[in-house]
Structure 1
Amino acid sequence: MVEVKLHDIGEGMTEADINCYLVKPGDFVKADDPLVEVQTDKMTAEIPAPRSGVIKELLLTPGQTVKVGTTLLIIEESSGGVQTSESQKVADVVKTEAKPEETAVAVLDRPAGVKVPVGVSARLGQILASPYTRKVARENAVNIMEVKGTGPAGRITEEDILAFVKLREHGVSSTSEAGSEQEIPNISQPASEQEVPNVSKPASEPKAPKVSEVGSEERAPTENKLSHQDILPFRGRRKQIAKKMVQSMYTIPHCTHFEEIDVSELIALREEIKGSGSSISATAFFIKVLSIALKEFPIFNAKLDEENENIQLLREHHIGIAVDTPEGLIVPVIRNVEQMNLKQIHDEMKRLTKLALDDKLTVKDISGGTFTISNVGPLGGSIGATPIIQHPQTALVSFHKTKKRPVVTDQDEIAIRSIMNLSMAFDHRVADGATAVAYTNRFAQLIENPKMMLLELM
């Protein structure tokens, strides 16, 4: 017997939520086949099979939060690569498309009369699809049960979902395109048998209640009873983010420093660069200048080791960029910024942001950050904040809304300038306010005179 346990799939991970199982008891799996989908505070991931064998027992139910090291399921390892008769039958169906009259599929919690295209994965009706593919299906209001998979063993791919959407737009169903479909009865288990967790995922998450202009919630007349629209699930990434934020706030004595930065010259330089046929985002400039300043103030690129009573000054600048996604905040990391030029930073930032929005980030993409930034300015309306530091980092800088304001110049003249607000949160155990002011002053000096960056890049 092989116990498949929840292992650490991310830096500092201690627990995860069980999203759904991708197998059922009796299924034959090969090494590295996906077994269960879990949600951490940073990403959705699949736990693979360590060895080939037959699924013996599922030990948990979807929605549970479990610690690292918890056993998720048990595999009965195949001896000499020989499958049991039951698992052989399952594997045979995976390889060959069954005829409608020969296919018997048990769909848990599936309404009677649901149509399922022939050729859907043979793991007793289990849909094989990655978390990202399921996300694409939800975003396009596609019932994944209606899609015919073209991947290995009937796995449904992103391309299958998009093809289904195109066919639907033209009034053609993928089931008619794929051939015959069969009526799947709703099969319930005897009470004496072991209850198998529900592996299906909802088509969409409950929507947040609308908020009126005066801030009161618009509720249906339910006689003071909560409807499903009044309740949001507190699990998955949202729950994990909450735990991380609580840990950070209770561990780190936060101190926040605010500053105003004149970005008029930076805007002019960006327009000049754009005129030459290139484009560099303002955030790329911010990241590079923060890295330059960190060389002079390495205390903000440090990690406090209380156990050994030392502060580790880190030479590599692995800067995290906070990205707002539909599933919640996530922070991919641009590695070794101190060695990158502006174009490289710009391109890497775009790549990581797209992966974050597509829910395709890997563990490496979100691990090892030493400093974090949050650029909420483009969202509008933000003039300041008290951001929470990513434990065990020492500092976080947030960039806010840029507005044109009348400013008194050094010549005592009034000029219209573009002013951006900045807030910097730092660990007061590690650094003091005067050092934070010196750090942001150095940042302001280079941003307000961006051509001075050339001296730092030589």
Structure 2
Amino acid sequence: MLEVKLHDIGEGMTEGEVIHYLVKVGDSVMTDQPLVEVQTDKMVAELTSPCSGIVKEIRIEAGETVQVGTSLLYIEIDEDIRTVQKSYVETKPIAEEKGIPVINVAEKSRPIPFNRVLAAPYTRKIARDNNINIEDVHASDPSGRITEDDVFQFLKGQQTEMEPKKDGRVEEVSQEIPDEIPFRGIRKKIAEKMTKSLFTIPHVTHFDEVNMTNLFKLREQLIVAGESVGVSAFLIKALVISLKDFPIFNAELDEENSRILLKKNYHIGIATNTESGLLVPVIHDADKKSIKEINEDVKGLTAKAIAGKLQPFEMQNSTFTVSNVGPLGSTGATPIINYPETALIAFHKTKKQPIVNEYDEIVIGHIMTLSMAFDHRVADGATAIAFTNRFTSLIEQPHMLMMEMI
């Protein structure tokens, strides 16, 4: 019999909430099959089976919060598979020496692979809370992934189903929509961190505008050349260069020892809106990466955040955070700093509007608004303005951005 315990999924984790079991007593499971969803203070994670076998006992009920090391369930190891695997391991070297091809019968003996609907843990939770079998929900995304909106659309369809009455007429069947959301897990941790940041750091927000016209032209040229790079990658590269010129914003205030720690690493957090709440995956060592590499990191980390597949190390040790809310339609905001960092910059909606160029001609330009929140204990307004001026110059003259990378 094998114990499946709640292990330390992330650095500093001490407890977790059992959200939902994906198996029940008596189920046959295979190695690496997801068994249970657990909510930590940073993410919803799936614990997988360390072996093939049969679920014999579930010790902890869904909804309970337990300490790391607690036994969640027991699995009876499949002896047939273990015997076959042992035989295969012992036979393989001898057969290979004689040049005899070896068929991995252990693979043939495994249970039929489980088929899971593609959906984030939070989406599954919404379905469960509304007594919906997620396998009945149609995915609107071409990838087949079911989203939160898909579940709500399914629920809406259930609410307007027509049922025949005894006299042959029909009437709408309605289901009660929950009027409350549990305040725990990631949402509660976001609240705690935002409260600590706002009540610890004296926030100041500096607003500025950036002419994106030349950068857009450069992107179009790259696309024609077969290179598609998102705007975010250029913005992050320009930020890293600016942070090197103004290291006070890549810093952390250590009040206890009366010092400001200037970080030598440039780990850029990317605030990402997900179904589970705001997550901040991190591009580590962004200063050592090309624009193309940063672009790949942004796409990969964002996709993993939305799918609920981020690993703990992918959300740790950020030194400066970026929030790109322009695509969502934002025109301005006063963002809250990602404590204990010194600053955060938010990029808002880019608009076409009349501008005066260097020849005093009125032309149409692409203007983006940015807002930068910074810790007034660590830096002053004049330094923040100089920092955004440096950043703006690199974006408005992207050839200079290229020069900085030589």
Q: TM-score, normalised by structure 2?
A: 0.70
Q: How does 1:277-296 map to 2 (within 5 A)?
A: 277-296=226-245
Counterpart pick for 2:218 among 263, 266, 269: 269
Give the whole-Å Cα distance in 2 for the aligned partners of 1:205 and 1:93: 44
Matched, 1:38 2:28: no
Give the whole-Å Cα distance in 2 for the aligned partners of 1:290 and 1:281: 15
Please state how far the C-alpha of 1:72 moved relative to its aligned partner. 3.5
- What residue number does 1:218 align with? none
Q: How does 1:134-173 map to 2 (within 5 A)?
A: 143=133
Counterpart pick for 2:356 among 408, 414, 428: 408
Please state how far the C-alpha of 1:395 moved relative to its aligned partner. 1.3
* Unaligned segments of structure 1, at least 5 residues: 77-86, 96-120, 122-126, 147-160, 166-202, 210-225
- What residue number does 2:87 align with? none
* Unaligned segments of structure 2, at least 5 residues: 83-110, 137-142, 157-174
Matched, 1:256 2:246: no
CA offsets per residue over residues 268-323 of structure 1, 9 Å max, x none?
11111112121111111000000000111111111222223222211211111122
Preserved CA contact (<8 Å) 1:42 1:331: no
Shift of the 135–264 alpha-carbon distance from structure 1 to 2, 3 Å rule, reads same
Give the superposed CA RMSD.
4.4
Give the whole-Å Cα distance in 1 for the aligned partners of 2:358 and 2:342: 35
Please state how far the C-alpha of 1:401 moved relative to its aligned partner. 0.6
- What residue number does 1:81 align with? none
Give the whole-Å Cα distance in 1 for the aligned partners of 2:152 and 2:39: 15
Counterpart pick for 1:341 among 290, 304, 329: 290
Preserved CA contact (<8 Å) 2:354 2:363: yes
Please state how far the C-alpha of 1:348 moved relative to its aligned partner. 1.6
Give the whole-Å Cα distance in 1 for the aligned partners of 2:201 and 2:382: 18
Please state how far the C-alpha of 1:62 moved relative to its aligned partner. 2.8
Give the whole-Å Cα distance in 2 for the aligned partners of 1:285 and 1:334: 14
Q: TM-score, normalised by structure 1?
A: 0.63
- What residue number does 2:168 align with? none
CA offsets per residue over residues 39-73 of structure 1, 9 Å max, x none?
234321245789999987735x433456xx46643
Q: How does 1:8-407 map to 2 (within 5 A)?
A: 8-11=8-11, 13=13, 16-21=16-21, 36-47=36-47, 58-59=59-60, 61-65=61-65, 69=67, 72-73=70-71, 91=78, 143=133, 227-380=176-329, 382-407=330-355
Please state how far the C-alpha of 1:135 moved relative to its aligned partner. 6.9
Shift of the 94–45 alpha-carbon distance from structure 1 to 2, 3 Å rule, reads farther
Preserved CA contact (<8 Å) 2:249 2:320: yes
Give the whole-Å Cα distance in 1 for the aligned partners of 2:199 and 2:7: 26
- What residue number does 2:91 align with? none
**Aligned residues with identical type, % of pairs:** 50
Q: Which amino acid counterpart does residue 277 of structure 1 have in structure 2?
A: G
Q: Which amino acid counterpart does residue 318 of structure 2 have in structure 1?
A: G
Shift of the 428–11 alpha-carbon distance from structure 1 to 2, 3 Å rule, reads farther
- What residue number does 1:103 align with? none
Give the whole-Å Cα distance in 2 for the aligned partners of 1:384 and 1:17: 36
Give the whole-Å Cα distance in 1 for the aligned partners of 2:359 and 2:279: 45
Preserved CA contact (<8 Å) 2:122 2:275: no
SS of structure 2 residue aligned to 1:316 = coil
Q: Which amino acid counterpart does residue 384 of structure 1 have in structure 2?
A: G
| Structure 1, 41-50 or 277-286: larger mean CA deviation | 41-50
